[in-house]
């Protein structure tokens, strides 16, 4: 299913609280769902701590490699919110309080409440476009191919909704899920490998899960060409029918 010139993406989650296990990430799955819906190939995810050198290194590795990079976390008002400064350093540009971002903060805060901490949320790297935050106003931003979003899932989602119409996408991926039920993976793996080898235009995966009644298996056929997906699916259905009979 891979293709040259595909529109690709990576996610970079920033935050000690995810690495400590204290906060369970919800943003990776949410962003992955949106990218799949619109037809952008998510190729890599990284989670790094609130350490500037780590953020800079990850941003530079990912932005060179993928069409889009989406970050979440680290854009609040406290001392551990260092994402904006790290992005500026990664791109080698300056950063300062942005009048547009400051105006957004004034939609929520009185001028006398815009202390140094809150103004951190208006620090935007030079040359960035803002991403509106309808919930708490402090904006995200886009610099080059890097989209910087909040870590709070509801705000991240609102920012992603804002970004979504602006993204260039591939043809969406068509995905067919075939229930193999209790047929063991080891019984259909050989036949499935042969189908996968014969249908290079699709990707075929097998996903076991444990249920209270034992293992259940699902086979997923994915691709951008509907006819190719349908053809591969028909062969998988036939394979499973043989094994059930």
Using CB under 8 A as the binding rule, the residues of this chain from 69 to 108 that contact its own copies are 76-80
Please answer whether residues 82 and 48 qualify as being in contact, where contact means their C-beta atoms are separated by less than 8 angstroms.
no
CB of 45 to its own copies, least distance (A): 4
Q: Check binding of 3 to its own copies (CB under 8 A).
A: no
Residue list 171-230, contact with its own copies (CB under 8 A): 173, 175, 185-190, 192-193, 196-197, 203-210, 215, 220, 222
Choices 86-94, 118-126, 163-171, 224-232; region in contact with its own copies by CB under 8 A: 118-126
DSSP SS3 for 83? helix
Q: Which stretch binds its own copies (CB under 8 A): 34-42, 141-149, 164-172, 226-234?
A: 34-42
For its own copies, the closer of residues 205 and 226 by Cβ is: 205
Q: Which of 96, 113, 129, 161 binds its own copies (CB under 8 A)?
A: 113
Nearer to its own copies, 113 or 126 (CB): 113
* Cα angle 132-33-196, degrees, rounded to a multiple of 5: 150
Q: Exposed e or buried b for every residue in 30-56, given b needs 16+ CB within 10 A?
A: bbeebbeebbbbbbebbbbebeeeebb
Least distance in angstroms from the C-beta of 46 to its own copies = 5
Between 5 and 92, name the residue whose CB sits nearer to its own copies. 5
d(C-alpha 95, C-alpha 65), whole Å? 24
Nearest CA-CA partner of 175 in 26, 39, 28, 2:
39
Q: What share of the chain is helix, strand, coil (3-state, %, to 5)?
A: 40, 25, 35
Closest CA to 207 of 219, 194, 191: 219
Q: Which of 63, 109, 199, 224 binds its own copies (CB under 8 A)?
A: 109
Our CB check for its own copies shows the closer of 92 and 107 to be 107
CB of 24 to its own copies, least distance (A): 4
Residues 153-172 as x/- pattern, contact with its own copies by CB under 8 A? xxx-----------------
By DSSP bridging, strand 8-14 and strand 68-72 are parallel
The answer to whether 209 and 218 have CB atoms below 8 angstroms apart is yes
> Does 110 participate in binding its own copies (rule CB under 8 A)?
no
Q: Considering the complex, what minimum distance in angstroms separates the CB of residue 127 from its own copies?
A: 26
Distance, in Å, from the CA atom of 191 to the CA atom of 226, rounded to the nearest integer, reads: 22
Of these, 152, 174, 229, 236, which contacts its own copies (CB under 8 A)?
A: 152
Closest approach, Cβ 33 to its own copies, in A, equals 4
Contacts with 209 (C-beta within 8 Å, 6 or more apart), sequence order: 215, 216, 217, 218
With binding defined as CB under 8 A, does residue 35 bind its own copies? yes
């Amino acid at each position: 299913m891979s293709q040259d010139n595909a529109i690709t993406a990576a996610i970079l989650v920033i935050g000690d609280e995810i690495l400590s296990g204290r906060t369970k990430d919800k943003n990776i799955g949410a962003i992955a769902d949106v990218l799949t819906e619109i037809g952008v190939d998510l190729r890599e995810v990284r989670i790094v701590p609130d350490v500037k050198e780590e953020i800079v290194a990850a941003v530079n590795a990912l932005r060179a490699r993928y069409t889009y990079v989406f970050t979440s976390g680290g854009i609040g008002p406290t001392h551990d919110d260092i994402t904006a400064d790290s992005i500026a350093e990664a791109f080698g540009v300056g950063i300062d309080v942005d009048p547009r971002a400051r105006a957004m903060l004034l939609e929520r805060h009185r001028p006398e409440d815009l202390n140094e901490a809150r103004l951190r949320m208006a620090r935007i790297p030079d040359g960035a476009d803002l991403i509106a935050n309808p919930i708490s106003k402090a904006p995200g931003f886009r610099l080059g191919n890097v989209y910087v979003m909040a870590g709070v899932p509801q705000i991240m989602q609102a920012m992603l909704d804002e970004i979504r119409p602006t993204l260039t996408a591939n043809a969406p991926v068509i995905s067919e899920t075939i229930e193999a039920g209790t047929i063991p993976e080891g019984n259909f793996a050989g036949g499935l490998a042969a189908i996968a080898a014969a249908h290079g235009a699709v990707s075929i995966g097998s996903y076991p899960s444990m249920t209270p009644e034992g293992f259940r298996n699902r086979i997923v056929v994915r691709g951008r060409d509907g006819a190719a997906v349908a053809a591969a699916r028909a062969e998988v259905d036939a394979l499973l029918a043989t094994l059930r009979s």
